[in-house]
Amino acid sequence: MRRSAIKAANKELERIDAVFISYENASSGLIDPEGIERLCSDLEVDHTDVRVLMLAWKMKAEKQGYFTLEEWRVGLKGLRVDNVNKLKKALPELEKEVRRPSNFVDFYSYAFEYCLTEEKQKSIDIDSICELLNIVLGSQYHLQVDLFTQYLKIQNDYKVINMDQWMGFYRFCNEISFPDLSNYDPELAWPLILDNFVDWIQDKQSQIRMESKTKNSNFEDEEAIIKGEEGGRGRLVLLLPLRNVVPEGEDGEDEGELEDIATLFDWLVNLFLSPSSALSSIL
């Protein structure tokens, strides 16, 4: 029984290795970016799909864009698959595994380290970070990621992001009520970039509230005119345009009637889209 189990394990390993060989670069002995692209095509996933990064995590791959034979074995044995069709079917389960809270923090940290492509590199440029955030967190925390990447692209204080800032943003997404930020406390040793991000959001929220208040005030003024709250002038709103655009002929008809009706229609559309402009043309 023991001998048969060993034999089965060896056969499985042979099949796993055979799949590796089908994608490897023969000269380097590695699956390189070109091989990974072919693998993605066979798995029917885009090379930027988060599941490709999850697969790299499962393999414990160390170098971005490359898989060694040992890493490949670790990943496929961990998923209990030995061919591409089985690997394709295993991707949904892999995603569930990664998204468990106990695993996701490790995966999130791994995603940053996997993108450190140079020796002794400790930070990642803003454009790459924005892409990585969308891949790793975009589906879970869409609004936070969308606003944070907006902020990163317009701010001028940071050219790169380090691991502490990267992990701080994940903590921010998990712990902070969004978008009201009611439980954000800048005294709790958040990375400074997140303090600045929160200030930026609050400034935008204040600006939106002010603009909304101004629009509401303008709308109330226009509504008051329409209702006739300024000395009965509101009664002229629908009468004056008619007098202006429908000329009176001796027999009540006019050759320009169709043109006048079109003018009236344009005025009514303008009244809907821009009340203040329409009203100012007759009052």
Which residues, other chains included, contact 267 with Cβ-Cβ below 8 Å and sequence gap of 6+? Answer: 241, 245, 278, 281
Architecture label for domain 115-208: Orthogonal Bundle (1.10)
Question: What's the Cα-to-Cα distance from 275 to each of 102, 108, 220, rounded to whole Å?
Answer: 56, 51, 11
**132 vs 217: CA distance, rounded Å:** 43
Compute CA 18 distance to the chain's CA centroid, rounded to the nearest angstrom: 38
Residue 30 main-chain phi, psi, to 5 deg: -125, 155
DSSP sequence for the chain? -HHHHHHHHHHHHHHHHHHHHHHSBTTTTBB-HHHHHHHHHHHT--TTSHHHHHHHHHHT--STT-B-HHHHHHHHHHHT--SHHHHHHHHHHHHHHHHSHHHHHHHHHHHHHHT--STT--EEEHHHHHHHHHHHTTTTSHHHHHHHHHHHHH-SS-SEEEHHHHHHHHHHHHHS-TTT-TT--TTS---HHHHHHHHHHHHHHHHHHHHHHHHHHHHHHHHHHHTTTTTTGGGGTTHHHHHHHSPPPTTS--TTHHHHHHHHHHHHHHHHH-HHHHHHTT-
At 42, list the tokens: 């066979």
pLDDT recorded at residue 174: 95
Q: What is the pLDDT of residues 61-115, one digit of tens each?
A: 999 999 999 999 999 999 999 999 999 999 999 999 999 999 999 999 999 999 9
Query: What is the predicted pLDDT for the residue at 223?
Result: 55
Claim: this prediction has a pTM higher than 0.75: no
Say if CB 202 and CB 224 are below 8 A apart.
no
pLDDT of residue 72: 98
Pick out the chain residues at pLDDT < 70. Answer: 1, 215-283
2-99 belongs to CATH 1.10.238.10: yes
Tell me if domain 2-99 and domain 115-208 are identical in fold.
Answer: yes
Q: Which residue, 135, 167, 16, 142, is CA-closest to 64?
A: 135
Task: Write down the pLDDT at residue 4.
Answer: 74
Task: Estimate to the nearest angstrom the gap between the alpha carbon of 167 and the chain centroid.
Answer: 18
**Structural domain boundaries in the chain:** 2-99, 115-208, 227-280
